[in-house]
Amino acid sequence: MSQISKYLEFACGFGRSTRFLVRELAASKIWVSDIYSDAVDFQKETFGVHGIVSKTDPDQLVCETGYDFIFVASLFTHLPPPRFEAWLKRLFSLLSAKGVLAFSVHDQALAPSEKIPASGILFRAESESGSLDKAEYGTNITTEAYVKSAIEKATKMEWKYHRLPHALCGAHDVYLVSKDADIDYSSLAYFSPLMGYCEGIISHGEGVFEVSGWAGNPNAGLDVAMVQIYVNHCLVASVKPELLRSDVASVLSRPEFSNSGWRTSFTSSGADQGPSLIEVFAISQSGAGTLLHLGPLMSFAM
């Protein structure tokens, strides 16, 4: 972080990442940009960062250059092919001489049953947005070959990049592209976050609950040490994932997740009488935790 003097979070929303970033980097070094002006205004007022209102057409974006790091989460996952390539070219042009662009994509591994066109990108004009044009902001799935080709079009030559599978939220792949063509990514050490889901909580009455789900470690040779359940920040149960979950292994194309299921029960006095918060964490062998679920206990319990 000490080497970054200008950081741009593009397609920033209302600060899902910025609220954490400002704890590591001075707000004066952070620029945020989004197509929604109220999101940009909110971040400027709340976090004290610089703000830029974006456009649908990358050629219309009025923006400074010389960013040492540009982070783009969940924008390229929505773009049709022409916009995907145009935005990649535009953002690459905004980097400083040794700047790095990091962006996330939906890799074809997320949808193994989908037939991807020969172009390497499958685009559908559908998304969760209720206000953006679906033809401009839909949903796509890409192959690595397509992303590699788009990078080469943006840089106008064959270019080094580094792919981090499932690096964003255990789902999106993240690609790193530097303005410096000679950058070497071989020494980059990265461990993927644990993956998992809390699938259900059953209330048996009198403060007795049963909770279940799955959890897996995508890093080769490593397991999930434990799943821990907290109610009102107090540990109430721990369980090791070891139940058969061939469905998870099949859907995610991860045979190592075949025994990723877990189920346990706990008793929490008064939890079914008033508001209680439940937190579910997957814990790695190193002791690092990944949050699988957070919310009111009774609103989730069946």
- Least confident residue range of 56-65, 144-153, 248-257, 293-302: 293-302
| Residue spans per domain, the chain | 55-178, 195-300
> Phi and psi at residue 80, in whole multiples of 5°?
-70, 160
Residue 273, pLDDT above cutoff 60: no
Q: What is the pLDDT of residues 23-63, one digit of tens each?
A: 999 999 999 999 999 999 999 999 999 999 999 999 999 99
Q: Which one of 3.60.15.10, 3.60.20.10, 3.40.50.150, 3.50.50.60 gives the CATH number of domain 55-178?
A: 3.40.50.150
Q: What is the mean pLDDT of the segment spanning 149-156? A: 94
Q: Which CATH class is domain 195-300?
A: mainly beta
What's the residue count for the chain?
Answer: 302
Q: How far, in Å, are 104, 115, 148, 154, 156 from residue 145 at the CA level? A: 15, 15, 5, 14, 16
**Given this chain, do its domains 55-178 and 195-300 carry the same CATH topology?**
no
Q: What is the pLDDT of residues 192-223, one digit of tens each?
A: 889 999 998 998 888 899 999 999 998 878 89
Residue 86, pLDDT above cutoff 80: yes
Per-residue pLDDT at 301:
57
Give every CB contact of residue 207 below 8 A, 6+ residues apart in sequence: 267, 268, 269, 270, 271, 272
The mean pLDDT of the chain is 90
Per-residue pLDDT at 206:
81
pTM here is 0.79
Per-residue pLDDT at 213:
97
> Model confidence at 89, in pLDDT bands (50, 70, 90)?
very high
Per-residue pLDDT at 100:
95
Q: What is the pLDDT of residues 102-115, one digit of tens each?
A: 999 999 888 878 89
Q: What is the mean pLDDT of the segment spanning 259-263? A: 97
* Closest among 192, 20, 198, 222 to 107, alpha carbons compared: 192
Please give the share of the chain, as a percent, with pLDDT higher than 90: 66
